[in-house]
């Protein structure tokens, strides 16, 4: 009878409550609907929402038993393991992110769009690791428009309140107990375990203090009063099921409480049912006495109603039978609908106007329109202001996004994230021999991000090879690669760390860079004056060196980004310090051929131009230039900046020196200062 009851409760609340709301000064907040269970509270709220009657829940539920706790667990698990495809798909299917079956099926066919989601979740992972849970989660809510999506549901305020409450609890736990990502996810799983203790501070909060109907559990309503009360679910029976465990107080043993685990043939069943009826009567009394002015009690021939508290009060059995519950049920079973109505009429007549009897309205009720809105014609206001569409947070990906779309390579331009290369050349090189070693390692964005992650985690000294092997193995598993690649990748890592980065006597190799002298995935912002492709072309044509000025300015002019200003954002793969100078490095996993010779200087220069990496590292250099002159009191560009390295990982071989796999440049001071004037507005 629950589903019909919900529909009818909606009708009663609309027909009765809706009319009451039209009579000033009664407000929605003056009305309470009392329920026994949280499930009934949700049914009532759904019905009221369908009728446009605002409501809030005052329930006894626990935060970790909600659907939102399950969704939070799924989303955070995917953020914790962004390369785990099943976890990410489950997270996308939550109401927080709103992807349906068709969306997920489409993502399975669209590699570029799927990779966009993977990269976004990697960003959330990195932000959580570097800045903490709450900083990441606030960014996630904003970026994914979670608030708007949840509030679009009929019970949106309840859902959003639960999500924000969960975030607050998780933040508090992570701060007080110093829990990292893994620890916090484990703690959340433990709290969701039904066997875990339920703490009072984790009870559900009121989702709004706005003017709204109060949906309250009877237990929580004790001691409170409301002008108008509805009691739609007070017909719970008092009979114990055939195999149902029950409690009773034994009068022969000083009224000690007993739990009956084998109820089928227990002689104390009658005592247990009598105590249930007494509890039902107590709850009915609490319900009926919460109303100051008016109380609505719904009654009729519902399932189990024959042994309920209203049946005992309104249709009591004759005499004082020993088995009061069975007698009450037998009496009610023998009544016709006319008998029930006649008994209620008698009660109303004897109450001398204090009780009124009326039929439940049929149908689902009509949507409530507040009296204040009656007769009002609604219309849209026209916005006459000017929206500046050129103001934005720009990035290298944004500036080159249209060019990437034209070449049909997967693009992350819509997301301001680390610019991980796609692992292939835009102009594929024809293989001259069968690939082996690192040249045979899979291509693509997933492989590129894997290699980036490895270099971010390892100790460059190379002294602890077992630790490097462990990192490589872990990343291969995380990204879904077969473990037979471990030896190949470790060999490549060793070569990159040992390779000389530049000629000269200083012997610069990455293996000489300690952890204290490096920063990985350094995020930056700097203010951005209005820029266009033509403005960038002019700067590089007038101030770039011979290799750049020859043809690169014309390539820049062909970029199709809209005029932009605001802020420039980016991520530098590696910033390190060596012998008093600062250097930038970027890892590239692009596949240019099956031999070291395919990664020579001419090939790398062509690759740098075609992919606009030259523009990328000048942006990075400008960001570092601004950072150092704000941090170093005696900063001088030529004294403190050592240059840029783009390391094409597949082509590095220390035995061949820096001639293969390593692109190096030291942008001229004049060019950097010109970029600073044009992009930032200061020399």
Q: Give 476-498 as a 3 state SS string.
A: HHHHCCCHHHHHHHHHHHHHHHH
DSSP 185-214: HHHHHHHHSTTSPPPGGGBPPPS--SS-EE
Provide CB contacts within 8 A for 234, sequence distance 6+.
36, 283, 284, 287, 297, 298, 299, 308, 309, 310
Buried b or exposed e, range 24-55, using 16+ CB within 10 angstroms: eebebbbbbbbbbebebbbbbbebbbbbebbb
In angstroms, the CA 100 to CA 120 distance is 19
DSSP state letter for 652: -
Q: By three-state DSSP, how is residue 651 classified?
A: helix
224 and 233 in contact (C-beta within 8 Å)? no
Active site residue: 236, 586, 598, 665, which one?
586
SS3 for 243-284, per residue? CCCEEEEEHHHCCEEEEECCHHHCCCHHHHHHHHHHHHHHHH
Active site residue 586: yes
Question: Per the structure block, which two tokens stand in for 22?
Answer: 């039209």
The secondary structure of residue 159, as a DSSP letter, is: H
Query: Do 290 and 342 contact (CB within 8 A), yes or no?
Result: no
The token pair that represents 20 in the structure block = 């009451």
Report the distance separating Cα 297 and Cα 357, nearest Å.
10
Q: For residue 290, which of 347, 228, 233 has the smallest C-alpha distance?
A: 228
C-beta atoms surrounding 499 within 10 Å = 22
Residue 668, C-beta contacts closer than 8 angstroms, at least 6 positions apart: 543, 544, 545
User: Residue 441 is inside which H or E element, if any?
Assistant: none
Angle of helix 2-12 relative to helix 38-50, nearest 10 degrees, comes to 50
Are the beta carbons of 20 and 26 closer than 8 angstroms? Answer: yes
C-alpha 309/C-alpha 325 separation (Å) is 10
DSSP state of 550: T
On the question of a cis peptide bond just before residue 25, with omega within 30 degrees of 0, the verdict is yes
Q: Which helix (H) or strand (E) holds 664?
A: strand 662-665
In the sheet that 55-58 helps form, which strands lie side by side, from edge to edge? 55-58, 213-217, 31-35, 226-231, 291-297
Tokens of 127: 């932000």
Residues designated as active site: 586
């Amino acid at each position: 009878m629950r589903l019909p009851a919900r529909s009818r409760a909606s009708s009663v609340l609309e027909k009765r409550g809706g009319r009451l709301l039209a009579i000033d000064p009664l407000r929605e907040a003056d009305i309470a609907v009392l329920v026994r269970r949280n499930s009934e509270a949700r049914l009532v709220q759904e019905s009221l929402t369908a009728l446009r009657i605002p409501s809030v829940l005052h329930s006894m539920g626990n935060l970790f038993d909600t659907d939102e706790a399950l969704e939070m667990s799924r989303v955070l698990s995917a953020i914790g393991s962004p390369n785990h495809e099943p976890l990410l798909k489950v997270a996308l299917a939550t109401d927080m992110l709103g992807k349906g079956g068709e969306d997920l099926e489409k993502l399975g066919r669209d590699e570029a769009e799927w990779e966009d989601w993977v990269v976004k979740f990697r960003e959330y992972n990195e932000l959580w690791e570097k800045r903490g849970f709450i900083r990441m989660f606030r960014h996630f809510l904003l970026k994914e428009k979670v608030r708007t999506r949840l509030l679009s549901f009929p019970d949106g305020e309840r859902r959003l309140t639960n999500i924000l409450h969960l975030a607050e609890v998780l933040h508090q736990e992570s701060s007080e107990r110093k829990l990292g990502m893994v620890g916090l996810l484990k703690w959340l799983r433990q709290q969701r375990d039904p066997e875990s203790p339920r703490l009072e501070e984790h009870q559900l909060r009121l989702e709004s203090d706005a003017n709204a109907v109060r949906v309250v559990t009877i237990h929580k309503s004790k001691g409170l009063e409301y002008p108008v009360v509805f009691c739609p679910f007070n017909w719970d029976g008092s009979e114990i099921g055939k195999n149902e465990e029950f409690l009773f107080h034994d009068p022969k043993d000083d009224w000690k409480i007993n739990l009956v685990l084998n109820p089928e043939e227990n002689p104390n069943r009658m005592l247990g049912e009598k105590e249930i009826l007494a509890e039902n009567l107590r709850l009915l009394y609490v319900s009926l006495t919460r109303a100051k002015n008016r109380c609505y009690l719904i009654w009729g021939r519902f399932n189990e109603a024959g042994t309920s508290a209203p049946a005992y009060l309104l249709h009591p059995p004759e005499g004082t039978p020993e088995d009061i519950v069975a007698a009450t049920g037998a009496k009610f079973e023998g009544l016709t609908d006319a008998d029930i109505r006649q008994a209620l009429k008698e009660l109303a007549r004897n109450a001398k106007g204090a009780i009124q009897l009326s039929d439940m309205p049929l149908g689902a009720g009509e949507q409530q329109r507040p009296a204040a809105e009656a007769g009002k014609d609604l219309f849209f206001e026209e916005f006459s202001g000017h929206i500046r569409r050129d103001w934005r947070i720009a990035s290298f990906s944004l500036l080159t996004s249209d060019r990437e779309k034209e070449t049909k390579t997967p693009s992350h331009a819509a997301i301001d994230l680390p610019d991980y290369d796609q692992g292939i050349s835009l102009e594929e090189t024809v293989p001259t021999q069968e690939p082996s070693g690192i040249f045979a390692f899979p291509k693509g964005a997933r492989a590129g991000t894997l290699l980036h992650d490895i270099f971010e985690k390892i100790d460059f000294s190379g002294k602890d090879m077992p630790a490097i092997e462990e990192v490589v193995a872990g990343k291969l598993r995380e990204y879904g690669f077969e473990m037979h690649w471990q030896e190949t990748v470790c060999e490549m890592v060793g070569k990159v760390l040992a390779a000389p980065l530049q000629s000269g006597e200083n012997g610069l190799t990455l293996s000489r860079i300690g952890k204290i002298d490096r920063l990985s995935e350094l995020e930056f912002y700097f203010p951005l004056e209005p820029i266009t492709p033509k403005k960038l072309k002019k700067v590089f044509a007038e101030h770039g060196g011979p290799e750049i000025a020859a043809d690169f300015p014309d390539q820049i002019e062909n970029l199709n980004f809209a005029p932009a200003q605001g802020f420039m954002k980016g991520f530098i793969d590696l910033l390190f310090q060596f012998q008093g100078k600062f250097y930038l490095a970027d890892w590239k996993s692009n596949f240019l051929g099956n031999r070291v010779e395919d990664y020579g200087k001419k090939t790398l220069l062509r690759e740098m131009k075609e992919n606009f990496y030259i523009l990328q590292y000048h942006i990075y250099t400008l960001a570092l230039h601004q950072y150092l002159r704000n941090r170093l009191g005696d900063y001088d560009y030529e004294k403190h900046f050592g240059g840029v390295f783009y390391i094409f990982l597949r082509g590095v071989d220390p035995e061949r020196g820096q001639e293969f796999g390593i692109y190096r440049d030291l942008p001229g001071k004049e060019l950097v200062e010109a970029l600073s004037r044009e992009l930032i507005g200061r020399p």
